[in-house]
Amino acid sequence: MKLVIQRVKNAKVTVDGNITGQIEQGFLVLLGVAPTDTKEIADYLVQKLVKLRVFTDENDKMNLSIKDVGGELLIVSQFTLYADCTGGNRPSFVNAAKPDLANELYEYFMEQCRKEGIKTEHGIFGADMAVELLNDGPVTIILEK
C-alpha cells in the first residue's frame, strides 16, 4: 500500500461536476493498493497517518498530528501510484491490485480513519475525478508498506 500525503489548507474532489468530498485543514491522501496488501498493512498505515507530526506547534515546529489540530482527511484512490515505466513510455499497472481488492482495502482504510475520530471524506472509486487542493507548506510525505 502506498500513500502520498499532502498537508492542505483545503481540498476537494469533484466527479461529473458534483463535489463528492471536501475538507478544510488536514491531509489529502492519494492511496494506491498492491495485490499483496492486507487489512493489517492498512491498519499499520492508518496509525502512521493519524500520528504523523507535520503540523506546526506554537514554536513553528512540525510537532503536531492531524488529531492534535482537529484536521480532516480527504482520501482518493489512485492506482497510478503503482505505475511501472521501466519498459517504455506507456506505464504498466500490473503492480496495482485488481479493482475488487483495491476497493475493499480503500473502503476499509477510510473506515479505520473514521474509527480514529477523524472526519474522513473521499472520492469515488474508479471514477474520473478532479482533485483541487491548496497545499500547505508545501508538505508532501510518502508512506509505503
| Whether 79 is catalytic | yes
Catalytic member of 38, 47, 80, 140: 80
Nearest CA among 128, 135, 16 for reference residue 74: 135
| Whether 78 is catalytic | yes
**Cβ burial 36-54 (10 Å sphere, 16+ → b, else e):** ebeeebbeebbeebbebeb
112: Cα separation from own chain's centroid:
13
Catalytic member of 6, 78, 112, 120: 78
Catalytic member of 79, 109, 112, 120: 79
Residue type at position 48: K
| Whether 109 is catalytic | no
Rounded to 5 degrees, φ, ψ at 72 are: -125, 160
DSSP 66: T
Active-site amino acid positions: 78-80
